[in-house]
Each structure stands twice: as structure tokens, then as C-alpha cells.
Amino acid sequence: MRELQARLKQLGLFGRNPTGYYGDVTASAVRAFQSRHKLPASGTVTDRTWAKLRSVTRQPTHDAMYPPTANPVAKLDPRCMTGRVLCVSKTSRTLAWVVNGRVVSAMDVRFGSQYTPTREGTFSVFAKSRHHVSTIYHTPMPYAMFFSGGQAVHYSSDFAARGYAGASHGCVNVRDLGRISALFDQVRVGDKVVVYW
């Protein structure tokens, strides 16, 4: 399934990162491909459809089929191009760890609600706390990297469980425990944080 989606993405027919789930979006992309190549537009991947798709696309890489984020990483803000930067895009809902203009890793993030918004701007990591617990909300904030008042980049078990159905109290939530753990070990106090649209 991921290979199918990655091949359709190469042709501009699947506008998301591969998920491995065959739903309406994938079926619509398959129908568009079938129509384009004068095949019966059923939305179902027949042997003829698969053979044609393979003949007009290249074998996708592992990273193309298993990207680090659900959404493609946004174009980097110019402020992210020098030094060590946590580059946080509200548009793509991704965080890119960028060192000297090169994306080292990326992960999905979510933000505060309209009542407790995540601040935009350029900041610095001023404190780190591996096993932090919020003194206001009394909730765990593992791997917290504080950048603006009480706002931090940190792991959220709620984000991992409920996805974008919830929101933070202004922090940048990460749902991938392995990625945030590795990131925490790389980021230093003083590293730049850029939050932008």
C-alpha cells in the first residue's frame, strides 16, 4: 500500500505522505491515474493498473514509503538556514531539526488551542528537563526543551493517542517518543527555535 501511494505521489496524484491506509484519497488518486492512462477508472488496483503504474514510476526508497512525518516538511524559513535550529512550521505541523541548513530529522507536531496559542517568532532553548511535570497543569512533559516562558517542545502521550483531535496549552507537542528522545540528546541550551507559519 505504501509503495502504491509513493508511486502515485511521484506523479503528483497523491498529495500526502504514504500512510499504508487505502481510503477515499488513495482510491481517488488511483481513479485519476487510471483515467490518465485510459484504464477502467474503478479506483481499484487491478493487475493492469499496477503494471502500468510500475512502468511509469521508479521504485520508491524506504524513506519515500516511510517518511518521518505525516505531512511533508515545509519549506524552511530563512531564519532556519544557519546554525542549530528547531524549525517549527505551523503550516505543515512539522518540526525540523536543522544544522547549518541541513535537515537532520523531522517529526509531526501540534500546537496550542486558540485560547492558549503557541507563540511565533525566534527564540532560544533556555532550559531542558528530561522528566518535567507541568507545575500549572500537573501533566507530564517528558523531554521538555523550553523556549518561551513556560512553552516548550516536548513529548505528548495525548498527541500520540488522539492526534490532532486535541491541542496543547501553548507547547509544541511531539508524538514520536523515539524521535523526541533522540532530539533531546542533540539539542543544547542556546540553540535557536523558530516558530513560523
pLDDT (tens digit, 9 = 90+) per residue, 98-148?
999 999 999 999 999 999 999 999 999 999 999 999 999 999 999 999 999
DSSP 8-state symbol, 118: P
Which distant-in-sequence residues (6+ apart) come within 8 Å of 96 by Cβ? 73, 74, 76, 80, 86, 87, 88, 89, 103, 105, 106
Per-residue pLDDT at 68 = 76
Per-residue pLDDT at 111 = 98
Per-residue pLDDT at 140 = 96
- Cα end-to-end distance, the chain, whole Å: 32
In this predicted structure, the answer to whether residue 71 has a pLDDT above a threshold of 90 is no
For residue 62, name the pLDDT band (cuts at 50, 70, 90).
confident
pLDDT (tens digit, 9 = 90+) per residue, 4-15?
999 999 999 998
Long-range pairs of 61-66 with CB within 8 A, sequence gap ≥ 24: 64/6, 64/9, 64/18, 65/2, 65/3, 65/5, 65/6, 65/18, 66/2, 66/18
**pTM for this entry:** 0.72
In this predicted structure, the answer to whether residue 76 has a pLDDT above a threshold of 90 is yes
For residue 161, name the pLDDT band (cuts at 50, 70, 90).
confident
Q: Report the amino acid identity of residue 122.
A: T
